[in-house]
Amino acid sequence: MSAPLLEVTGLTRRFGGLVAVDDISLSLQPGEIMGLLGPNGSGKSTVLNLISGALRSDAGSIRLQSREIGGAAPHRIARLGVARTFQLVRVLSSLNCRENVLAGLAFGRRSFWGHAAGQRADELLARVGLAGRAATMTGELTYIDQKRLELARALALDPQLLLLDEWLAGLNPTELQEGIALVRSLRGDGVTILLVEHVMDAIRSLCDRCVVMNAGRKIAEGTADAVLADAEVIRAYLGDDDA
């Protein structure tokens, strides 16, 4: 096996008395798609927030290509090639689609400026299915198109590692199939992907491996089929712990 692109060890984050992320370790090989699963409130988004630098950990390490990024500022982590989307879509509503992507292009691994940036922005919009929408104001976009735009802005950073937080949630069946194909095509381009997801079809068809969390802890790791058949995972999803 080659060296991991991302290696998380003993990651822990508390909010007051709550241990939202409790001693989580996981590693992603280059080009891998890993699913991060678990019931509501199990700590998945917090893991992504720690990796992207939006939050600081209380313990543990996060290494990108063997380099410690835990505790670094979000813009530095972005420059090293880590991009993300948010569970609640965040686009800049006072800007049009091209301007949203330009905002990402200025801060990535490779910076684009001027004419080259405009061209690159339009390419990325086409890539996510927003060809011809460059001048559309973000507020006029449907929900799925806002998600597409947020992905284009993440791709503008030219990421090695893409963190998707329920990017496929809320799509209709046709959109879901398009979304799955799009995520797969990104991997085809060499992007390594950690995706938080509840949509089982997407998990089964995309993920090489999955890590399942419950109440902050890792309770299972393996192929989608294996973890989804795991008794402790099923118990966690059915909510026995809370009953």
Site string for Mg ion, 12-51 (x = CB under 5 A): ---------------------------------x------
- Of 30 and 41, the one with the shorter C-beta distance to Mg ion is 41
Order of strands, sheet of 192-196, starting from the edge strand that comes earlier in the sequence: 82-84, 161-165, 192-196, 33-37, 209-214, 217-222
- Of 145 and 165, the one with the shorter C-beta distance to ligand ATP is 165
- Of 18 and 131, the one with the shorter C-beta distance to ligand ATP is 18
Q: How far is CA 98 from CA 53, 89, 125, 167, in A?
A: 26, 17, 8, 20
27 binds, among ligand ATP, Mg ion, none (CB under 5 to 8 A by kind): none
Distance between CA atoms of residues 156 and 166, nearest Å: 19
Distance between CA atoms of residues 64 and 110, nearest Å: 17
Contact present, 52 and 226 (Cβ < 8 Å): no
What 8-state DSSP symbol labels residue 87?
S
- CB burial class (10 A; 0-12, 13-18, 19+) of residue 100? buried
- Of 43 and 108, the one with the shorter C-beta distance to ligand ATP is 43
159 binds, among ligand ATP, Mg ion, none (CB under 5 to 8 A by kind): none
- Of 87 and 223, the one with the shorter C-beta distance to Mg ion is 87
User: Residue 95 CB, nearest distance to Mg ion (Å)?
Assistant: 26
**Amino acid making up residue 193:** I
Beta bridge partners of 21: 13
20 binds, among ligand ATP, Mg ion, none (CB under 5 to 8 A by kind): ligand ATP
42 binds, among ligand ATP, Mg ion, none (CB under 5 to 8 A by kind): ligand ATP
Residues of this chain that bind ligand ATP (CB under 6 A)? 15, 18, 20, 38, 40-46, 87
Distance between CA atoms of residues 145 and 51, nearest Å: 26
User: Residue 80 CB, nearest distance to ligand ATP (Å)?
Assistant: 23
Site string for Mg ion, 57-96 (x = CB under 5 A): ------------------------------x---------
30 binds, among ligand ATP, Mg ion, none (CB under 5 to 8 A by kind): none
70 binds, among Mg ion, ligand ATP, none (CB under 5 to 8 A by kind): none
Contact present, 108 and 158 (Cβ < 8 Å): yes
- Of 22 and 158, the one with the shorter C-beta distance to ligand ATP is 22
User: Residue 2 CB, nearest distance to Mg ion (Å)?
Assistant: 30
Angle, helices 143-155 vs 97-105, to 10°: value is 30
- CB burial class (10 A; 0-12, 13-18, 19+) of residue 118? middle
- Interface residue list for Mg ion (CB under 5 A): 45, 87
